[in-house]
Structure 1
Amino acid sequence: MTDPAPAGLRRQLLEGELSLLGQIPSASNLTLVCEAALDGTVVRCVYKPVRGETPLWDFPDGTLAGREVAARLIDAALGWDLIPETVLRDEGPPGAEFGPGMLQAWIDQPDEPPHPEPVEVFPANAVPDDYLPVLRAHEDDGTVIAVAHATTEQLHRLAVLDAVLNNADRKGGHILVDGDGRLYGIDHGLTLHTEPKLRTMLWGWAGEPAAEPLRADLAMLSDRLAGDTTFAASLCGLITGEEYQALAERVAALAAGQTLPRPPGQRAIPWPPF
Structure 2
Amino acid sequence: MKSNINSSLLTKNKVERISDYDHLQQQHYLEVVKSFARLTYESIYVIDYEKMAFEYVSENPLFLCGYSSEEVLEMGYDFYFKNVPERDLELLNLINDAGFDFYKKLPGHAKKSYSITYDFHLVNKDGKHILINHKLTPLFLTSDDQLWKAMCIVSISHHKNAGNVCIHKQGTDETWELNIENNVWRKSEKPKLTKREIEILRLHAQGLTINQIAEKIFVSADTVKYYRRRIFERLGVSNIVEALSYTVNNKII
TM-score bracket, normalised by the shorter chain, equals under 0.3
TM-score by length of 1: 0.27
Q: Which protein has the bigger helix share?
A: 2
